[in-house]
Structure 1
Amino acid sequence: MKNNKKKFVLIDAMSLAYKGYFAFINRPLSTKAGEPTSAVFGFVNQLLKIIEDTKPDHIAVAFDSKEKTFRHERYELYKSSRQEMPEDMIPQLQRIKDIITAFNIPIYILPGYEADDLIGTACKLAEKEGYICYAVTPDKDYIQLITDNIFIVKPGKSTDEIIILDRKKVKEDLGIEPIQMIDYLALIGDKSDDIPGVAGIGEKTALPLIQQFKSVEGIYKNIDKIDRKSIVSKLLENKENAFLSKELATIKTDVPLKLNFDEAKFTQPDIKKLNQIFSELEFKSIAVKVNKMFQNNSLEKKENTPAQDYVESKPSLASFDKNKVKYKLITTYKDAKSLAEKLMQSDLFVFDTETDSLNIFEVKLAGCSFCTKPNEAYFVAVNPLYLSTGLFSNDLSDRLPIDDFIKLFKPVLENKKIKKVCQNGKYDIAVMRHYNINVENFYFDTMLASYVLDPDQKHGMDDLSEKYLNYKPIPLTQLIGNKKEPSKIFEVDLEQLSNYSCEDADITYRLYEILLRELKKEKLEKLAFDVEFPLVLVLEDMERTGVHIDKQALKEFSNELKNRMDYYTDKIYELAEEKFNINSTQQLQKILFDKLKLTLTSKTKTGFSTDAKSLESLKGEHPIIDLILEYRQVAKLKTTYADALPKLINPKTGRVHTSFNQTAASTGRLSSNDPNLQNIPIRTELGKEIRKAFVPRDKDYLILSADYSQIELRIMASICEDENLINAFKSGEDIHRSTAALVFQVKPSEVTPEMRRKAKEVNFGILYGIGPFGLKTRLGISQEHAKDIIETYFGTFKNVKKFMTDSINNAKEKGYAETLLKRRRYLKNINSNNKVVRQFEERVAINMPIQGTAADMIKLAMINIHKELIKNKFKSKMVLQVHDELVFDAHKDEINDLKPIVKNLMETALPLKVPVVVDIGIGDNWLDAH
């Protein structure tokens, strides 16, 4: 991008706004007052990235006009299938225009023309004047504008990433000149704009035709030279559409646009106006970035101070001025003893560890910060290293020896009367346990408090600090570099490390005060103090315990899977009549669609889809499909589990230690990662073999599995109080058989396996707001039949329909769905006019009270069981939680005592209006126990 020519950047506003809007569609952004901001946030981030990367001399932004264009007049169906703009995006456009104006950037709008045409015209005019132009858009039709002086800037996957396309890149990727994009679109059409193209001609056919004959005109002139009759037939049948499509796809470059280069000159923005807008929108990090980019004398940041927020709003954390806070570095025994005594006299304190690793079995403590009130914090620098002589290593001799730290602070941290507060306390507690310090009276976790208040917000300390304190903390990268290598922690200057860690503790204390007030205000403290906070110790213990894996069994299974893969590979080659890379999407596309002529699936960037869903739709067309699906299943089992799990065994413990995440799922469910042990397949016979490899720790133990029976259906029955459902559960009937009998109006003894299967699909489908189309797909029946089944179901279980309607209406009124324990999930688009977005949130409104209550129930059970195991000094340990199931490493001598305890505490964790049933199994491995 180095060039002496002046640079003119032209931005397609709507394409960037839409990209920003849909980038956050699952977690829409909004202000505390409820103003939607996703599109604005995405647009501004992209704008700043574009300015940073292109460093423009001139810049302008183009919008589509509201009026119909000449293309609509030429073709009535042009853009006819486009959905109306989402309701919550409309007010964001004015915000975007206000921000563009505050940046002193001109806006181009011309009635009857699209942004494409304005940008195309501006690019050509600027090129004539000797400028290099950058047209910013994700739309592929802009490629036709590319020349040696005109480039396309495409937004990347994230809202702050961009990709620059030039002639060379287009020729490498597509094999055609940029101007030929018009002919390419004329053949394949453009679904997003309803440009018809030539029916039946896709990317694979279009590109060779254009490469050979150069243009649409050239193709029709030489149509007799095309060998494939089917292509000739399609071209002749759709000739009119081909030329119409070319006309519609051509960007006009002669629009009557008065281009004033002086107006478009990129100058200093109106910082005051921008700060006002960013303050209203609560764009704190963007405000900091903009002020840094366009600093003037009045905005210069003082050296050696934490990053300040330049937003003109109430500086609620102004006291973070270095002159006001009291942060003390402690390196001597005398000072550490004095701090320990001070902490021993406190009612509550925050503590935060600094370490060299996230692996709790390898971790070395570099220090710990403590805070008992705002503005004051202490950092105890620790030397965790020993030499073989028993002496401490010399390079860290200026710090408190680890045994002195343990001697002084173990009594403090184990004091049951003093409340402890952390941000992500599970890790800090694990670090202390590594040094044989058992943290007692763990009282409050700011990360979990944030999760309880709104599961969809960000819960990291930096994010919470910016949101609640209007302050951007010292970044970790400032200490250990952008790669965030924890091992470099001992290379950091002690004063710098002390300031960083003290600030973390200080911020955590301030967040604790604010979040505690918020929990009380929203009446969510019971959920936090009875469920989420106590669960931390349970999960930490489970993670530390780990689960034993039979390496030899997995090795043998891996060999078996390899043999199966080889068998399927040979069969696939035989049916394809050639060898190819089965794992290559493009090679598979050629076999399935070019060679075997199977029905074309949905289109992707690289051709036609070969994902699992697409291949399932092709079942029955050719035997190769079943073999490919079998091959993929076997390959995934081999790589993801049979080969991967043995590598994750910790050499010190001989077990696999997963990490349970409390803040990942919006419903309240736990997730598991590194490795994910909640996703091990159970439905297929081969998948079940993986569970066989999960075994007890030694010959004195067995695996005990305790599983809630149909818990979500029981919760639904309890919430909706449907008499028929409640009676079925109370009488201990097979709920799916009972449902089938009522829906199909037959005696329970006359219910066929097929009827039961359909009833089961309906029972579980209802939990997720299933409709006739969804049920039709699941059962392989007609939509009319599916509709009849659902109507009969609702006629039989009248309160279920009422529950669904009430759930949606309550969510629309409150703005959130909630569980029996009042856990919330906010639904910002539940009242949207956009049908797709609204219906998604309506399904969530139905499912959240059920799935979330099930999550709350098992969490309470885990807490109660954990307490009971400790109280009775059991050797048995809880080692896994997989949604509705708990898995134990059970000592053989304790099984008779353990079974009733687990069963009782699970069944009574959260009383319902129907019986709660827990099935318990015991075996030599997880599969046998299940």
Structure 2
Amino acid sequence: MTQATLPSADHPATAPTLLLVDGSSYLYRAYHAMPDLRAVPGDPGSPATGALRGLINMAQALLREHPAQSAAFVFDAPGPTFRDALYPAYKAQRSPMPDDLRAQIEPIHTVLRLLGWPVLCVPGVEADDVLGTLAQQAAAAGMQVLISSGDKDLSQLVQPRITVIDTLSGKRRDVAGVQAEFGVPPQQMVDYQCLVGDAVDNVPGVEKVGPKTAVKWLLEYGSLDAIVARAAQMPGAVGEKLRQALDWLPTARQLLSIKTDCDLSAHLDPAAPLQQALRLQAPDQAALRDFYQRYGFKTLVRSLEAVPGRAGVAQSGADQLGGMGLDAPGAAVAAFGLAEAAQAGQGAAEGADTAPTAPPCQYETVLTWEALHAWLERLQAAPLVALDSETTGLDPLRAEIVGLSWSIEPGQAAYLPLAHDYPGAPPQLPREQALECLRPWLENAAAPKLGQHIKYERHVFANHGIALRGLDHDTLLQSYVLEAHLPHSLESLAERHLGLRGTSYAELCGKGAQQIPFAQVDIERASSYACEDSDFTLQVHQRLWPRLQADAKLGAVYALEIDCSEVLYRIERHGVLIDAATLARQSHELGQRIVALEAQAHASAGQPFNLSSPKQLGEILYDRLGLPVLKKTATGARSTDEEVLEKLAEDYPLPAQILQHRSLSKLKNTYTDKLAALAHPRSGRVHTHYAQAVAVTGRLSSNEPNLQNIPIRTPEGRRVREAFVAAPGHLIASADYSQIELRIMAHLSDDPALLRAFHTGQDVHRATAAEVFGLVPEQVSSEQRRAAKAINFGLIYGMGSFGLAKALGIDNTAARNYIERYFERFAGVRRYMDATRAQAKACGYVETVLGRRLYLPEINSPNGPRRAAAERAAINAPMQGTAADLIKLSMVAVQHALDAQGRASRMIMQVHDELVFELPAAELDWLRSEVPRLMASVAQLKVPLLAEVGVGANWEQAH
């Protein structure tokens, strides 16, 4: 028995249950969680079916989880409602419904009715009003009402006989649940919402009144009417804001109150009892079979044939969800939380349905000049070609081509083996001659090509002296823009979007010590594998590209990623010069200091011990020296992690020595010992690899070596940058955005005080301190500025009072007072944070200024810490993501300028908000003036963007 059906004094087990579903909420959840399924797999022109497929599963799983005899799906009807006439700006900020989703609404209504569900759409009111009316009528008739929705607004309907459940997060809003979540009982929810406003629906509340103040007032005065009656006596700035809102509050109440008296006579038989009027009907099996066949749902067709009764409603989770690739033990979670299921990489594609309809494979191995020339003619005539290389290794600057594959249409591909070397291998065309034959097409920018990770392909062909051009599309980046939270390997994409699984590299070449090079793979098996790669890449593109075309904002983000890929290729190719002698000297000095620290630690401990052994360190700290145990590990051992050592170091010398020893050892082992060895033997330069499709925020990551993690908070760490030098006759320049995330916060929050500080060129931390402490800027002390800086940056990363107290070394009460004063002076920031959290909870994602979507799988998690972490991420992600977008725009703009003007300056690194250049001294004046101008003009925010340039003989001097 589920929690929703447990009997109690207020909910007798004999009372009938009415199950009401907020269909509009389900609609969007299914659409955003599911991949771009089509009635005809691989045909972007056929009807979209993702939301339809997802909603069928959600509806059936809901009935399994919460059995009921009477139920209804309620959807918003098209057209305006009475609220739009009352307030034209109501929901004005919401994006229009995507065309793909709009096209699925009618078939969704149809299939629900075929499944036996009553479906209601009432013009002139919202689904919430219909739900409210039905719930009140049912409760008055003695029924128990269960409303399935994630909308917190429905909390105002809750009473002993009406409960709201959010099947996505597992949240249950009964009377006690509403009180615990919001601090007020359900009957005060409308008053509460009027005070705080509803950012999701664009309904303003009382400025400066947040949840805490609203709850305090309602508990003290009892109602909004009583608060309004005392408005004249309300003290302070918040009282003034209340008085300013008095004329608005009646309108807010009308907008936010759910109607419970809608006229439903045209939609339900007024003479029939509600329990009978909304009774679930037997499914129409024959019509369902036709419907499922029409939309390509073969798994559901099979479920009808296998399971009698309610069209599969009673079947097992494994049977019902099998077509989606979801695990049976998590059936309810998977069906309700389709976004989470997809984000976990469990695959929401109609895998079992699409595989049988995959095009027949026509794969060819090219072993003769005649066959190659024939294919070359087809390649030159093709509108788009998926191209893939098989190589000797993964290092893009050293890998050589073993063979090439291409695909010109689904199911048709060819493999050109060029360097397979094993006993009995058939004769192959000479590699360099074959590449020369293909060179005109490979280097033709007007010949459109597609790849999976095109930056790698550019490098591989460049290793053979070929400038690969015409790379218009990258399925890796398409997936990254559309679904950054999911895996992006071709294997994952094929399974997720095509329902296809090909041969894996491990199956072909083996694993570990038994793995063989690709050149030793039998050509017949290699050909099948390589052709699959190109074929799958083309088919995935045909699924993903229409989705990007249908969304202008995501399409623009994708175009930026494609342009950025070209710039990153050039940065990686050029590399950055390393001074090996400087690194050797630093390693020697660090080694001496590490030995000295080890001796000091032994002296402090009173005996020698292994500083790298947690067990020995724990014995010294806690047994020999008797230091307090602050934390234990999961296994119960006494912790010696960095957090514990930092706390102990405030009072004892040994922990401080251990921390410094660890820091210097890491610096030596990771950078000063290894950087020179990573330099290319011919160029003396290190060539880091920038990964675009890793961080969900859009930030780049750097590896082999990681140039973005060099510790710069210590003098020793900063000195490492001295080894990044310019070639003779050249300089190093660093162009860095100034306080970029704070500027983005000002733009997003539209806070007047923050906007004013940036527009007038003030020291924003000093200006913040002046606002928080009620001073003029000249009176702000260094300590107050430090506190304001910690608040400014802490809020970006979702820091609470505990984190701020730790950062400033103050108690929690003082930190909480700082934050409250901050929000009183910067009310726009609080409104932004509240609105962003609300949007994240409603949509499952937030967006950057450019429209990049940042998904938050845990935003509605029933797990408190996970949900809190997701809420912090929701605040930070739009700022960090927008900063990532801006630096990418800058990279592209600067590279275009360098190319257009024929400059010799080269971009050699990108590190967070910084671009690093190697330039001839003669171009210094140009770079100092032009690069900051370009970086400042890539986007028009509500505050000016500012980039500053430093110059020197090495990277450290350029700061």
TM over 0.5: yes
1:318 lines up with 2:359 in the alignment: no
Q: Does 1:347 align with 2:383?
A: yes
Residue aligning to 2:471 = 442
TM-aligned CA deviation for residue 822 of structure 1: 0.9
Q: Deviations over 1:396-425 (max 9, x none)?
A: 771121222222211112212221111111
What's the offset of the Cα at 1:278? Answer: 4.8
Q: In structure 2, what is the equivalent of residue 639 of structure 1?
A: 669
Go from structure 1 to structure 2 and tell me whether the alpha carbon gap of 1:644 and 1:474 turns closer, same or farther (over 3 Å shift): same
- The residue that corresponds to 2:392 in the other structure is 356
The equivalent of 1:473 in structure 2 is 502
Superposition pairs of residues 388-787 of structure 1, within 5 angstroms: 398-483=427-512, 488-604=517-633, 605=635, 607-696=637-726, 698-787=727-816
Q: Once the two structures are superposed, what CA deviation does each residue of 1:515-547 show, in whole Å capped at 9, x if it has no partner?
A: 012223454542344211111111111111111
CA distance in 1, matches of 2:674, 2:800: 39
Q: 1:596 to 1:273 in 2, by over 3 A?
A: same
- How far apart, CA to CA, are the structure 1 residues paired with 2:327 and 2:457? 29
Q: In 2 relative to 1, CA 819–334 (structure 1 residues): closer, same or farther, beyond 3 Å? A: same
Instruction: Look up the equivalent residue of 1:405 and give its one-letter code.
Output: A
| Alpha-carbon distance in structure 2 between the residues aligned to 1:803 and 1:926 | 37
Corresponding residue SS for 2:517:
helix
Do structure 1's residue 834 and structure 2's residue 877 form an aligned pair? no
Say if 2:854 is the partner of 1:825.
yes
Query: What is the TM-score normalised by the length of structure 1?
Result: 0.66
- The Cα of 1:464 is off from its aligned counterpart by 0.7
2:284 alignment partner in structure 1 = none
Cα distance in 2 for residues equivalent to 1:871 and 1:313: 48
Deviation at residue 277 of structure 1 after TM alignment: 4.6
Q: Could you list the per-position Cα deviations for residues 271-322 of structure 1 after superposition, in whole angstroms to 9, with x for gaps in the alignment?
A: x9685255155249999xxxxxxxxxxxxxxxxxxxxx9x99653233557x
Query: Offset at 1:796?
Result: 1.1
The farther-off stretch of 407-416 and 582-591 is 407-416
**Matched ranges for 1:56-95 at <5 A:** none
1:873-892 to 2 correspondences below 5 Å: 873-892=902-921
CA distance in 2, matches of 1:839, 1:727: 31
Contact 1:284 1:466 in 2 (8 A): no
Say which of 898, 908, 926 aligns to 2:927.
898
Equivalent residue runs for 1:101-140 within 5 Å:
none
Q: How does 1:203-222 map to 2 (within 5 A)?
A: none
**Any idea what the Cα deviations from partners look like across 1:422-452, whole Å, max 9, x if unmatched?**
1111111111111222122221111111111
CA positional deviation for 1:799: 0.5
Question: Where does 1:185-334 land on structure 2 (aligned, <5 Å)?
Answer: 276-279=319-322, 282-283=325-326, 314-318=352-356, 324-334=360-370
Q: Residue by residue, what CA displacement relative to the aligned partner does 1:655-704 show, whole Å, maximum 9, x if unpaired?
A: 111111111111110011111110001111111111111111x2121111
- The question of whether the paired residues in 1 share the 8 Å contact of 2:725 and 2:954 is answered with yes
Partners of 2:169 and 2:558 in 1: CA distance: 38
State the distance in 2 between where 1:731 and 1:778 align. 29
- Within a 5 Å distance, the mapping from 1:855-866 to structure 2 comes to 855-866=884-895
Q: 1:830 deviation in Å?
A: 1.8
Change (3 A) 1:86 1:576: farther
Q: Taking structure 1 as reference, are residues 741 and 89 closer, same or farther at Cα in structure 2, changes over 3 Å only?
A: closer
Cα distance change on mapping 1:534 and 1:384 into 2, 3 Å: farther
Identify the residue that residue 365 of structure 1 maps to in structure 2.
Answer: 401
Flag structure 1 segments of 5+ consecutive residues without an equivalent. Answer: 1-28, 37-84, 92-271, 288-308, 386-392
Please name the residue that 1:799 is paired with. Answer: 828
Residues 538, 485 of structure 1: alpha-carbon distance in 2 compared, 3 angstrom cutoff: farther
Deviations 1:336-360 (A, max 9, x none): 1221122111221110001111123
Q: Distance in 2 between matches of 1:546 and 1:351?
A: 26
Equivalent residue number for residue 949 of structure 2: 920
Distance 1:788 1:761 in 2: 14
**Contact 1:451–1:459 (CA under 8 A) maintained in structure 2:** yes
Q: CA RMSD in A?
A: 2.7
CA distance in 2, matches of 1:828, 1:682: 33
Quick one: distance in 2 between partners of 1:792 and 1:350?
Answer: 58
**How much has 1:501 moved relative to structure 2?**
0.7
Return closer, same or farther for 1:434/1:316 CA change in 2, 3 Å cut-off: same
Q: Within the alignment, does 1:870 sit opposite 2:908 as a pair?
A: no
Q: CA deviation at 1:765?
A: 0.7
Distance 2:799 2:317 in 1: 46
Kindly state the Cα deviation for residue 558 of structure 1 after the two structures are TM-superposed. Answer: 0.8
Q: CA separation in 1, counterparts of 2:519 and 2:690? A: 28
Q: Identify if the C-alpha distance between structure 1 residues 891 and 286 changes in structure 2 by more than 3 Å, giving closer, same or farther.
A: farther
Secondary structure of the corresponding residue to residue 687 of structure 1: helix
Name which structure has the greater RCO, CA cutoff 8 Å, separation 6+.
2
Tell me the amino acid that sits aligned with residue 681 of structure 1.
P
Aligned equivalents of 1:511 and 1:563: distance in 2? 55
SS in 2 for 1:316: helix
Give the letter for the 2:640 counterpart. T
Q: Distance in 2 between matches of 1:330 and 1:879?
A: 40
| 1:200-221 deviation line (CA, Å, top 9, x unaligned) | xxxxxxxxxxxxxxxxxxxxxx
Bigger mean CA deviation after superposition, 613-622 or 545-554 = 613-622
Distance 1:317 1:409, change over 3 A: farther
Shift of 1:487: 6.1
- Aligned residue number for residue 74 of structure 2: none
Question: 1:284·1:470 contact (CA, 8 Å) conserved in 2?
Answer: no
Per-residue CA distance 1:862-916 (angstroms, 9 max, x = gap): 1121222222232221111111001111122222223323212211112211111
Post-superposition offset of 1:485: 8.0
CA distance in 1, matches of 2:547, 2:747: 30
The answer to whether the 8 Å contact 2:318/2:327 transfers is no
For the structure 1 residues 740 and 89, does the alpha-carbon distance in structure 2 shift closer, same or farther, using more than 3 Å as the test?
A: closer
Partners of 2:452 and 2:484 in 1: CA distance: 16
Q: Find the residue that maps to 1:705 and give its secondary structure.
A: strand
Change in Cα spacing, 1:282 to 1:525, as seen in structure 2 (3 Å) is same
Distance 1:313 1:766, change over 3 A: closer
CA 1:286–1:424 in structure 2 vs 1: closer, same or farther (change >3 Å)?
A: farther
Q: Note closer, same or farther for the CA distance 1:724–1:352 as it changes in structure 2 (3 Å cut).
A: same
Give how far 1:850 is off: 0.6
Identical counterparts, % of pairs = 37
Per the alignment, in what secondary structure is the counterpart of residue 715 of structure 1?
Answer: helix
Separation of aligned partners in 1, 2:636 and 2:919: 52
Quick check: 2:554–2:852 contact (8 Å CA) kept in 1?
no
Aligned residues: 643
Cα deviation code 1:47-101 (max 9, x no counterpart): xxxxxxxxxxxxxxxxxxxxxxxxxxxxxxxxxxxxxx9986869xxxxxxxxxx
Gaps of 5+ in 2: 1-31, 36-53, 59-164, 172-314, 331-346
Please give the alpha-carbon distance, in whole angstroms, between the structure 2 residues aligned to 1:523 and 1:894. 38
Partner SS, residue 669 of structure 1: coil
CA-to-partner distance for each residue in 1:110-165, whole Å, 9 max, x for gaps? xxxxxxxxxxxxxxxxxxxxxxxxxxxxxxxxxxxxxxxxxxxxxxxxxxxxxxxx
1:552 to 1:86, Cα distance in 2 relative to 1, 3 A: farther
CA distance in 2, matches of 1:418, 1:344: 7
